[in-house]
Amino acid sequence: MDIIFGTLVYLIFLGVLIYSIVNPRKTFMLGRRWQYKNDIEPSEEALFIHRLIPVIILIFLTFIFITSLIYQL
């Protein structure tokens, strides 16, 4: 049961991270759009960082997921 729950949680995080990597302009202001009247255009550096952080988190979560699967088997 723990393996199934862990896999489902991992897949949810995986989907959010991949969406954030593929579409950084839409996820950049996620939850903060209401603070501004007009559309805010993020700089290229901000988009690069916003794309780099999910890649790092994705690698880290994949490592944790694989090691937890090996540990539970």
Q: Which residue in this structure is represented by tokens 């490592």?
A: 63
Asked, for residue 49, whether it belongs to a domain, the answer is yes
pLDDT in tens, 5-24: 989 999 999 999 999 999 99
Q: How far apart are CA 54 and CA 59, in angstroms?
A: 9
Q: Give pLDDT, residue 35.
A: 82
- The single residue listed with the structure tokens 């202001």 is 29
pTM of this structure: 0.82
Residue 35 lies in a domain: no
Give a yes or no: residue 14 inside a domain.
yes
Residue-number span of the structural domain to which 11 is assigned: 2-27+40-72
pLDDT value, residue 29: 84
Residue 34 belongs to some domain of the structure: no
Could you give the CA distance from residue 69 to residue 3 in angstroms, rounded to a whole number?
7
Q: Is residue 33 in a domain? A: no
**68 occurs within a structural domain:** yes
Q: What is the pLDDT of residues 30-65, one digit of tens each?
A: 888 788 888 788 899 999 999 999 999 999 999 999
Work out how many domains the chain is built from and give that number: 1
Any domain includes 32: no
Query: Within a 10 A sphere around the Cβ of 24, how many other Cβ atoms?
Result: 19
